[in-house]
Amino acid sequence: MGPVKRVLLGSAAGVFAVAGAQAADLAVKAKPVEYVKVCSLYGAGFWYVPGTDTCIKIGAFVKLQTAYNANQGGPSMMGVAANGAGDNGGRHDRVDSSPFSFNNRAAVSFDMRTQTEYGTLRSYFDAFFQTQTNSAAGQLSSISLGNTRAFIQFAGFTAGRMRSFFDMYFQGTYAFSGSRFGNDSSPNGIIGAAYTWQFGGGLSASLSLEDNGQGNAGRGRSTINASAAVLGVGTNTFDNKGQEFFDPVVNLRLDQQWGFVGVSAALHDASGGYYSPLTEGSGHPGDKFGWAVTAAALVNNPFGLPGDTIAGQAVYSKGAAGYATAAWGPTAVFGSGQNLGVGWMEEGVFTTGHNVELTTVWSFNAAYEHRWNPQWRTSVYGGMYGVQYDGTAAAAICASPGTSISNIHGVGCSPNFSQSGLGSRTMWNPVPDLDVGFDVVWWHLNTAFNGGLATLTQQGAKPAGTYTISNQDSVAAIFRVQRNFLY
Indicate whether 219 belongs to any domain: yes
pLDDT in tens, 299-317: 999 999 999 999 999 999 9
Indicate whether 119 belongs to any domain: no
Greatest Cα-to-Cα distance within the chain, rounded to the nearest angstrom? 133
- Domain span at 237: 71-98+167-479
H or E segment and range at residue 25: helix 3-25
Indicate whether 273 belongs to any domain: yes
Indicate whether 356 belongs to any domain: yes
Indicate whether 392 belongs to any domain: yes
Rounded-to-integer distance, Cα 104 and Cα 64, Å: 5
- How high is the mean pLDDT of the chain? 85
Q: What's the pLDDT at 236?
A: 81
pLDDT in tens, 137-176: 445 567 889 999 999 999 999 999 999 999 999 999 999 9
Rounded-to-integer distance, Cα 75 and Cα 68, Å: 9
Asked whether the beta carbons of 172 and 412 are under 8 A apart, the reply is no
Indicate whether 155 belongs to any domain: no
pLDDT in tens, 350-381: 999 999 999 999 999 999 999 999 999 999 99
Indicate whether 22 belongs to any domain: no
Indicate whether 128 belongs to any domain: no
Q: How many structural domains comprise the chain?
A: 1
Q: How many CB atoms lie within 10 A of CB 114?
A: 15
What is the pTM (predicted TM-score) of this model? 0.87
Q: What's the pLDDT at 412?
A: 59
Between the ranges 7-16, 84-93, 215-224, 310-319, where is the mean pLDDT highest? Answer: 310-319
